[in-house]
């Protein structure tokens, strides 16, 4: 249900039914199935009411010569016991079922709707009583109560149907109650209260129309169930004794051996009638859902990793340091389907990583600049809707962008571990920490359950959790954020990976815990594990990383060692980031934030992506894509060919001599 | 565990009181004089009042109810008006049939419902629409009609299974099984529709949660993610639906036992209703209510087992 939004509060509101209510019928009429269902129900009602005029025979007219025969010219739907015409009996019998339907649904509505509305609107003791009664009635075996009623009042279907309505009403009251609660606090209802209208008027004129959708859904569902019960009672011979849809099924059951056809007409009419009620209910539900949530996103396939783009042969790189090279990303572009439109979120990202090296990816926090997406593309785990559209990721000779699922399962966890941003939600709430880690251990080592448990405790000890045995027996909801992140790291390390991708691992944690987690990552790196750290924190970057990529709006805008970046940033964006960072602020001077926001994917300007926020923007920035220019060799780099200082800015090209494309 | 039991008792006790009191009040509304209908029209007024006194019918309604309740606690539910057999004895003889039916149908509905739900959640496409169609049909096709159709096909035409009747497990396990197949399938098919629907929506929403990509990133297989992690987390609401289904099945057994002529509680309730055998119908209502409550307890315990937050 919608809640009042701040924008709605700002606009003047007329007292009355909101505009949203209008057009409901129109939306319903646009649902062909619901229209057909409604038409069918009306048709059934009309022909049964007119049975006396249109039925070819009387309900009890006998034609003994034709007893128990199939469809014929004399009896279009065949004839039953004593040669009574099936079609005519269906028409007359429908009156009983429909009357029962009207009684039970009527009682259901008359008791349930007011009770639910008052409970939801007023709250208090009445509300508690309604809820309690609904709880109790949920557990009452309805059919048995109806049998008790019929034992007392033999064959009195009216009383049985009233009882059915009463027994069903509390569940309707519960639905109406919660819908009323949603509406109660809306602005137009409160405006009506302020205007001095009485509760009765408010409920009838302002609340009830809004409840129409859920109520009709409940009525049609209950109506469907009531038809089933009414015909069931008829079948059991406990309802009225004349011809009804239910007694006709009973008649068929007595003659199954001779004329099984008799099952068909009565069964067909019951099933289609209930089906029509169900479809009408579905249609109403959908139509009333649409009015509150326009433009529902289309469902996307869920179980889908990266689709293999093309099967590239992995080339052997002969450049210096290739033996050492663990990961090579070249020209990586990723698109996401956003509102059905494929939108590029990462554009042409390239970098390499050697064993034991730590690489930082830095950018504004929480922006759409593509840090996290890049990190996830490395292990082939983009969120649904994401796709690698260009470039490739080669990890230790395996082309991640083209590998099949089995290969990737051998890479994930075993070769590359992922530490996610939100530690608690990354853990399955239903299993203990120990169970979850040992599952990963077993998956990658194929060892015994006990061995895996032992290893899990070892891993928990490795990430410096106090009393690892006790922690292994706890559930995720019992952990603090810091503990959960250590558990997340332990799980990422369970397969002994060569590379750990940490996606903002400290964002959700408080400062002291952050430092401890970073210590842990440093220890990890010292033990020879390569790390890719996604962060927005310069301090973390400078502390831990050998190299850093500054990303903005899907592109690498600068790459260098953290020292170089801090001491001699080349890109205006990097400079802006540093100026706005308290860590590098000068006491007494205000921090300067970068004006504007990161453009959303799909709204990137032609030319430099940073142009709209750049203080130094020139006309040339808007001309066309800006390449990554190499500055003089980065003194902080370890000496391989990718170690240079690269900057994606036209000003660099002009202001620094010897600038060359990377 | 103790709080769980306590909370259960908090619903169970009032419910037993409500249902028994309700049936009692209803039955006291019987038009006419019970003693006179037992003794016949020729009885003298003295005989009638003597019997009324003997049956306790001359006392106030609360007093009668109190006495019935006291007797019921001792296991005495009165005597069937039609057969003269103690009601509790009749119930004990028949409950096995009904429980076999319900448990069998529960298994069938769980296997079909959960299987179809998971499959359609993962595959989507035609199977998702199939779940929609099946749930609509499950709502629309009456149990007794479905039972008759299965009976016509498998018992009358092909004669694969016996049409009607029940063989006790002790007499012949094979025949016991055969006699149960058709009614169990009938009830199970009807019950599987809401289970499939709940399973699909539960699995879909669990697949969208953060622990799923986290598990994938650790190299856990899709199979384990789906069957071990996702299904377990989606399990709570599925268990609730299964519980509601069992409660609905109690009504279903009344019809299925009549269709397949099985000597269970449901068919007993039907004959008792048509012969106005009030003590018997009261007894069946009590047993059904107790079964419902035990099912609710089982649901609570399963929830606790599935969800560590409920447990602690």
- The pLDDT tens digits of the residues spanning A267-282 come to 999 999 999 998 888 8
CA dihedral (A174, B18, B280, B169) positive or negative: positive
Asked if pLDDT for residue A482 goes beyond 70, the answer is: yes
Identify the band that residue A298 occupies on the pLDDT scale cut at 50, 70 and 90: very low
Dist. CA B240–CA B254, nearest whole Å: 22
Q: Is B310 on the interface with A (CB under 8 A)?
A: no
Report the largest interatomic distance among the alpha carbons of chain A, rounded to a whole angstrom. 111
Asked if pLDDT for residue A192 goes beyond 60, the answer is: yes
B82 vs A contacts (CB less than 8 Å) = none
Asked if pLDDT for residue A308 goes beyond 70, the answer is: no
Mean pLDDT of A59-82: 80
pLDDT of residue A400: 85
Asked if pLDDT for residue A291 goes beyond 80, the answer is: no
The verdict on a CB contact (< 8 Å) between B281 and A253 is no
A494 vs B contacts (CB less than 8 Å) = 218
- The pLDDT tens digits of the residues spanning B117-134 come to 898 888 877 877 888 788
pLDDT of residue B231: 92
A417 vs B contacts (CB less than 8 Å) = 217-218
Name which residue leads in pLDDT, A373 or B55: A373
pLDDT of residue B129: 81
Q: In A185-259, which ranges are continuous DSSP H helix?
A: 187-194, 199-201, 208-236, 245-254
Mean pLDDT of chain A: 81
Q: Which of residues 11-30 of B touch A (CB under 8 A)?
A: 11, 14-15, 18-19, 22-23, 26-27, 29-30
The verdict on a CB contact (< 8 Å) between B19 and A238 is no
pLDDT of residue A359: 92
Dist. CA B121–CA A302, nearest whole Å: 9
The verdict on a CB contact (< 8 Å) between B292 and A412 is no
Facing B307 at nearest CB: one of A231, A430, A444: A430
Identify the band that residue A317 occupies on the pLDDT scale cut at 50, 70 and 90: very low
The verdict on a CB contact (< 8 Å) between A249 and B144 is yes
Identify the band that residue A379 occupies on the pLDDT scale cut at 50, 70 and 90: confident
A429 vs B contacts (CB less than 8 Å) = 211, 233, 307-309
Name which residue leads in pLDDT, A368 or A543: A543
ipTM for this prediction: 0.86
What is chain B's pLDDT, residue by residue, as a tens digit (312 residues)? 678 888 888 878 888 888 888 887 877 776 556 666 666 667 777 877 777 776 666 677 788 888 888 888 888 888 887 888 899 999 999 999 999 999 999 999 999 999 988 988 888 778 778 887 888 888 789 889 999 999 888 888 888 788 777 888 888 888 888 889 999 999 998 888 889 888 988 898 898 888 998 898 888 888 899 999 999 999 888 998 898 888 888 888 999 999 999 999 999 999 988 888 888 988 998 899 888 889 888 888 888 888 887 766
- What Å distances lie between residue A536 and A258, A378, A510, A574, B89, CA to CA? 81, 19, 15, 12, 76
Nearest chain B alpha carbon to A132: B11
Asked if pLDDT for residue A526 goes beyond 60, the answer is: yes
End-to-end Cα distance, chain A: 54
pLDDT of residue B38: 63
Q: Which of residues 110-139 of B touch A (CB under 8 A)?
A: 121-122, 124, 136-137, 139
> At which residue do the structure tokens 């990430």 appear?
A463
Asked if pLDDT for residue A660 goes beyond 50, the answer is: no
Find all residues with CB under 8 Å of B290, minimum gap 6, and list them: B16
What H or E segment, with its residue span, contains residue A8? helix A6-10
pLDDT of residue B266: 92
A431 vs B contacts (CB less than 8 Å) = 229, 232
The answer to whether residues A74 and A63 touch, using CB atoms and an 8 Å cutoff, is yes
φ, ψ for residue A247 (rounded to 5)?
-65, -25
The verdict on a CB contact (< 8 Å) between A224 and B140 is yes
User: CB-hemisphere CA count at 13 Å for A590?
Assistant: 3
pLDDT of residue A455: 92
The answer to whether residues A223 and A105 touch, using CB atoms and an 8 Å cutoff, is yes
The verdict on a CB contact (< 8 Å) between B216 and A478 is no
A221 vs B contacts (CB less than 8 Å) = 139
Identify the band that residue A181 occupies on the pLDDT scale cut at 50, 70 and 90: confident
Dist. CA B56–CA B37, nearest whole Å: 16
Q: How far is the alpha carbon of A207 from chain B, nearest alpha carbon, in Å?
A: 30
The verdict on a CB contact (< 8 Å) between B250 and A379 is no
Mean pLDDT of A217-242: 89
B250 vs A contacts (CB less than 8 Å) = 141, 143-144
Q: Is B278 on the interface with A (CB under 8 A)?
A: yes
A145 vs B contacts (CB less than 8 Å) = 19, 22-23, 285
Q: Is B276 on the interface with A (CB under 8 A)?
A: yes
Mean pLDDT of A134-149: 84
Nearest chain A alpha carbon to B258: A236
pLDDT of residue A590: 73
B213 vs A contacts (CB less than 8 Å) = 376, 381, 383, 420
Dist. CA A452–CA A138, nearest whole Å: 45
Name which residue leads in pLDDT, A516 or A236: A236
Asked if pLDDT for residue A303 goes beyond 50, the answer is: no
Asked if pLDDT for residue A640 goes beyond 50, the answer is: no
Mean pLDDT of A599-625: 84
Q: Is B144 on the interface with A (CB under 8 A)?
A: yes
Tokens of A105: 């649904």
pLDDT of residue A639: 44
Identify the band that residue A653 occupies on the pLDDT scale cut at 50, 70 and 90: low
Nearest chain B alpha carbon to A494: B218
Facing B145 at nearest CB: one of A270, A275, A439: A270
């Amino acid at each position: 249900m919608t809640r009042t939004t701040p924008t709605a509060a700002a606009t003047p509101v007329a007292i009355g039914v909101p505009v949203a209510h209008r057009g409901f019928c129109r939306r319903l009429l646009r649902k062909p199935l619901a229209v057909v269902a409604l038409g069918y129900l009306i048709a059934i009602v009309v022909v049964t009411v007119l049975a006396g005029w249109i039925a070819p025979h009387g309900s009890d007219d006998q034609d003994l010569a034709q007893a128990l025969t199939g469809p014929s010219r004399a009896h279009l739907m065949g004839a039953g016991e004593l040669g009574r015409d099936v079609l005519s009996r269906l028409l007359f019998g429908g009156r009983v079922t429909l009357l029962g339907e009207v009684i039970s649904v009527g009682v259901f509505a008359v008791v349930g709707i007011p009770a639910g509305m008052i409970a939801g609107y007023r709250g208090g003791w009445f509300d508690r009583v309604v809820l309690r009664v609904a709880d109790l009635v949920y557990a009452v075996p309805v059919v048995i109560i109806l049998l008790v009623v019929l034992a007392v009042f033999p064959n009195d279907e009216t009383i049985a149907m009233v009882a059915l309505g009463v027994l069903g009403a509390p569940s309707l009251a519960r639905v109406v109650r919660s819908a009323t609660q949603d509406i109660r606090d809306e602005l137009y209802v409160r405006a009506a209260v302020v205007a001095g209208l009485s509760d009765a008027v408010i409920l009838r004129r302002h609340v009830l129309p809004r409840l129409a959708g859920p109520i009709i859904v409940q009525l049609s569902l209950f109506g469907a169930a009531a038809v089933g019960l009414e015909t069931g009672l008829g079948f059991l011979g406990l309802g009225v004794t004349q011809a009804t849809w239910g007694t006709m099924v009973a008649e068929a059951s007595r003659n199954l051996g001779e004329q099984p056809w008799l099952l068909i007409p009565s069964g067909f009419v019951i099933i289609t009638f209930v089906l029509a009620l169900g479809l009408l209910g579905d249609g109403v539900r959908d139509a009333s859902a649409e009015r509150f949530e326009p433009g529902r996103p289309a469902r996307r396939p869920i179980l889908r990793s990266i689709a293999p783009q093309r099967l590239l042969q992995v080339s052997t790189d002969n450049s210096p340091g290739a033996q050492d090279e663990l990961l090579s990303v070249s020209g990586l572009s990723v698109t996401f389907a956003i509102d059905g439109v494929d939108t590029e979120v990462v554009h042409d990202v390239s970098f390499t990583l050697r064993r034991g090296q730590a690489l930082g990816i830095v950018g504004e926090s929480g922006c759409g600049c593509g840090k996290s997406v890049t990190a996830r593309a490395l292990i082939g785990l983009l969120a649904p809707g994401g796709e690698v559209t260009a470039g490739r990721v080669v990890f230790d000779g395996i082309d991640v962008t083209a590998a099949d699922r089995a290969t990737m399962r051998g890479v994930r966890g075993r070769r590359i571990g992922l530490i996610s941003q939100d530690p608690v939600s990354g853990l399955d709430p239903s299993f203990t920490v120990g169970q979850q880690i040992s599952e990963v251990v077993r998956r990658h080592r194929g060892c015994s359950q006990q061995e895996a448990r032992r290893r899990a405790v070892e891993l928990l000890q490795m990430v410096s959790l106090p009393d690892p045995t006790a922690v292994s027996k706890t559930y995720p909801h019992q952990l603090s954020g810091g503990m959960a992140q250590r558990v997340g790291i332990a799980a990422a390390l369970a397969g002994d990976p060569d590379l750990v991708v940490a996606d903002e691992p400290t964002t959700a944690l408080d400062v002291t815990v952050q430092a401890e987690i970073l210590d842990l990552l440093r220890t990890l790196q010292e033990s020879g594990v390569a790390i890719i750290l996604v962060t927005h924190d310069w301090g973390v970057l400078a502390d831990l990383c050998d190299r850093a990529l500054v990303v903005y709006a899907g592109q690498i805008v600068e790459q260098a060692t953290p020292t170089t970046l801090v001491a001699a940033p080349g890109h205006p964006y990097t400079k802006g980031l540093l100026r706005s960072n308290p860590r590098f602020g000068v006491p007494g001077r205000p921090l300067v934030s970068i004006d504007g926001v990161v453009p959303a994917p799909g709204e990137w300007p032609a030319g430099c992506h940073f142009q709209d926020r750049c203080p130094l923007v020139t006309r040339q920035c808007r001309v066309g894509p800006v390449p990554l220019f190499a500055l003089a060799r980065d003194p902080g780099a370890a000496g391989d060919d990718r170690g240079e200082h690269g900057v994606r800015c036209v000003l660099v090209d002009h202001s620094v001599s010897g600038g060359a494309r990377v | 565990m103790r709080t769980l039991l306590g909370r259960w008792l908090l619903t169970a006790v009032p419910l037993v009181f409500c249902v028994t009191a309700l049936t009692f009040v209803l039955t006291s509304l019987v038009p006419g004089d019970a003693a006179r209908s037992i003794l016949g029209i020729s009885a003298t007024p003295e005989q009638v009042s003597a019997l009324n006194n003997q049956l306790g019918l001359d006392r106030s309604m609360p007093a009668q109810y109190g006495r019935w309740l006291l007797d019921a606690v001792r296991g005495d539910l009165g005597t069937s008006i039609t057969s003269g057999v103690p009601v509790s004895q009749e119930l004990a003889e028949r409950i096995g049939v009904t429980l076999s039916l319900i448990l069998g149908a529960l298994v069938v509905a769980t296997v079909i419902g959960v299987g179809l739900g998971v499959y359609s959640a993962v595959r989507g496409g035609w199977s998702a629409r199939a779940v929609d169609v099946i749930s609509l049909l499950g709502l629309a096709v009456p149990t007794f009609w479905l039972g008759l159709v299965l009976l016509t096909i498998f018992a009358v035409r092909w004669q694969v299974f016996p049409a009607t009747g029940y063989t006790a497990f002790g007499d012949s396990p094979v025949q016991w099984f055969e006699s149960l197949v058709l009614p169990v399938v009938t009830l199970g098919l009807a019950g599987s529709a809401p289970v499939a629907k709940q399973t699909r929506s539960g699995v879909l929403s669990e697949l969208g949660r953060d622990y799923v990509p986290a598990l994938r990133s650790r190299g856990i297989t899709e199979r384990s993610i789906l069957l071990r992690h996702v299904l377990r987390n989606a399990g709570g609401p599925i268990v609730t639906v299964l519980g509601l289904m069992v409660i609905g099945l109690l009504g279903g057994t009344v019809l299925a036992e009549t269709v397949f002529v099985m000597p269970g509680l449901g068919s007993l309730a039907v004959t008792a209703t048509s012969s106005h055998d009030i003590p018997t119908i009261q007894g069946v209502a009590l047993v059904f209510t107790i079964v419902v409550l035990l099912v609710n307890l089982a649901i609570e315990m399963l929830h606790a087992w599935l969800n560590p937050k409920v447990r602690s």
